[in-house]
C-alpha cells in the first residue's frame, strides 16, 4: 500500500492548528474567570463544601461588587425557598429590594419573590404588604392572585371579594364559584350572629354571581328557618335538586326538622325517599335509615335498606342492613350478626370518606373548601365508595 507523502507534511500543520485553538479557548476562560469577582468563586466553593451560610455571605459580596450577578441571587433565593429555608431566601431577596443600583424590573421581581418567601414562611401580614406594593405595576395580576390566596387564608372575605373582582376575567365564569362562596362565608357569619338582613344581602349577591350556587340555597333555607318561615325554607332547599342533586344529603336532616315543625313528617319522609330513588346517595340512605329506625323500628329500617341495596349494592349500605338485622334478630343470632358487622365496618371505614376532585385529598368530614389544595366546591358530598362503584 503506497503512502501519500504529502499527508506526512500535513500532520504537523493539523497539530499546530489544534494547539492554537486550545490556547485561544484557555485564554478566553482565564479572561472570563478574572472578570468574575473573587467572592463569587469563593461562594461557589462554599456551596460545594456544603457551607450555605458562608456561600450566601460570599454571594452577597459578589452582587455588591458586580450587579450583573443579580440573576444568581434569584436562582439561589428560589432554591432556598423550595428547600424550606425561607429565612435565607428572605435575606437574599430583601437585599435585592433594598439595592438602589438595580433596574426597576429586577426590583419588582425581587419584591414578588420576597412576598412568596413571606407567604411560604406563614408571615401573611408581611406577604400582604409586599404584594400590595406590586399593585398597579407590571406584576399587578400576579400580585392579585397571591393577595387572593392570603385573604382566603386569613378568612378576610370582604378583601377577597375586592381582589377577585379586580382579577382579569372576573366577569366571566372563571371566578364565579369562588366569589359566590366568599359571599356565603360572610352570610354564614352574619346568620350565626342573627344579622338576618346582612345575611340576606350577601346571599342575594352570591346568587347574582352564580345562580346555581348550592351553598347559597342551603343558607337561604337556614335563614328562612331561623325567621320561622319553614315553608320558604323548604322551597329553598328543594331548589338544590335542580342545581346539583349530589348535595341533597346536606339538607336531608333540615328538611325533616322543618316538616316536623309544620306537622308534615310523612311528606318529608316521602320527599327524602323520592330523592334517594332518583339520586342514590349513601348519606341520604344513612339519614333515612336513622329516621326509619327511630320512628318505625328495626324491621322498617331493615326493609328500606334491603330495597336500596338491591338497586345500589354498597358496603356502607350492607353495614346499615346488618345493624338493623342485629336489632331485629333473635338473641341467639345477634352475636354472629355483630361479628359480621364488625368485619364489614373495618372495610367501610376506608371507603366512608369524602375525596377532593382536584387533588384527591380524603377527609371524613365534608368541606366546602378543600383543606389541601384550597379549591372551592371540589368536595362532592359523596363517599369514595360511590365513586368507585360508578361505571
Q: What backbone torsions phi and psi does residue 338 show, to the nearest 5 degrees?
A: -65, -35
What's the grid cell of residue 382?
359523596
Distance CA 388, CA 209 (A): 33
356 is in an annotated binding site: yes
Distance CA 381, CA 281 (A): 9
The DSSP result for 193-226, as a single string, is TT-HHHHHHHHHHHHHH-TT-HHHHHHHHHHHHH
Residue of 130, 170, 127 whose CA lies nearest to 149: 127
Cα-atom radius of gyration of the chain, to the nearest Å? Answer: 33
370 is in an annotated binding site: yes
Asked if residues 240 and 248 have their Cβ atoms less than 8 Å apart, the reply is yes
What's the grid cell of residue 232?
320558604
Strands (E), the chain: 354-355, 362-363
Annotated binding-site positions for Fe cation: 356, 359, 370, 373
Annotated binding-site positions: 356, 359, 370, 373
Amino acid at each position: 500500500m503506497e503512502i501519500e507523502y504529502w499527508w506526512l507534511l500535513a500532520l504537523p500543520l493539523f497539530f499546530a492548528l489544534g494547539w492554537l485553538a486550545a490556547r485561544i479557548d484557555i485564554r478566553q476562560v482565564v479572561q472570563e474567570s478574572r472578570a468574575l469577582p473573587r467572592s463569587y468563586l469563593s461562594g461557589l466553593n462554599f456551596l460545594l463544601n456544603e457551607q450555605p451560610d458562608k456561600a450566601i455571605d460570599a454571594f452577597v459580596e459578589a452582587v455588591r461588587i458586580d450587579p450583573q450577578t443579580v440573576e444568581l441571587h434569584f436562582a439561589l433565593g428560589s432554591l432556598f425557598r423550595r428547600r424550606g429555608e425561607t429565612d435565607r431566601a428572605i435575606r437574599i431577596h430583601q437585599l435585592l429590594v433594598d439595592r438602589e443600583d438595580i433596574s426597576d424590573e429586577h426590583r419588582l421581581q425581587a419584591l414578588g419573590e420576597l412576598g412568596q418567601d413571606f407567604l411560604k414562611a406563614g408571615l401573611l401580614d408581611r406577604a400582604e404588604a409586599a404584594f400590595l406594593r406590586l399593585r398597579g405595576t407590571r406584576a399587578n395580576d400576579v400580585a392579585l392572585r397571591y393577595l387572593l390566596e392570603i385573604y382566603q387564608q386569613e378568612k378576610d372575605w370582604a378583601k377577597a371579594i375586592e381582589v377577585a373582582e379586580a382579577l382579569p376575567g372576573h366577569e366571566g365564569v372563571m371566578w364565579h364559584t369562588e366569589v359566590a362562596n366568599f359571599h356565603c362565608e360572610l352570610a354564614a357569619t352574619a346568620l350565626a350572629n342573627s344579622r338576618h338582613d346582612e345575611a340576606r344581602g350577601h346571599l342575594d349577591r352570591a346568587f347574582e354571581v352564580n345562580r346555581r350556587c348550592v351553598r347559597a340555597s342551603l343558607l337561604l333555607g337556614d335563614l328562612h328557618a331561623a325567621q320561622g318561615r319553614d315553608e320558604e325554607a323548604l322551597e329553598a332547599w328543594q331548589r338544590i335538586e335542580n342545581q346539583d342533586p349530589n348535595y341533597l344529603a346536606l339538607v336531608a336532616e333540615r328538611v325533616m326538622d322543618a316538616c316536623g315543625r309544620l306537622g308534615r313528617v310523612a311528606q318529608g319522609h316521602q320527599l327524602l325517599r323520592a330523592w334517594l330513588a332518583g339520586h342514590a346517595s349513601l348519606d341520604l340512605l344513612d339519614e333515612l335509615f336513622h329516621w326509619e329506625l327511630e320512628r318505625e323500628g328495626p324491621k322498617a329500617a331493615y326493609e328500606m335498606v334491603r330495597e336500596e341495596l338491591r338497586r345500589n349494592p354498597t358496603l356502607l349500605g350492607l353495614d346499615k342492613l346488618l345493624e338493623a338485622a342485629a336489632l331485629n334478630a333473635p338473641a341467639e343470632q345477634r352475636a354472629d350478626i355483630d361479628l359480621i358487622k364488625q368485619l364489614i365496618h373495618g372495610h367501610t371505614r376506608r371507603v366512608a370518606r369524602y375525596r377532593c376532585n382536584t387533588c384527591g385529598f380524603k377527609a371524613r368530614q365534608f368541606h366546602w373548601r378543600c383543606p389541601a389544595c384550597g379549591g372551592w366546591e371540589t368536595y362532592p358530598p359523596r363517599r369514595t365508595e360511590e365513586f368507585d362503584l360508578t361505571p
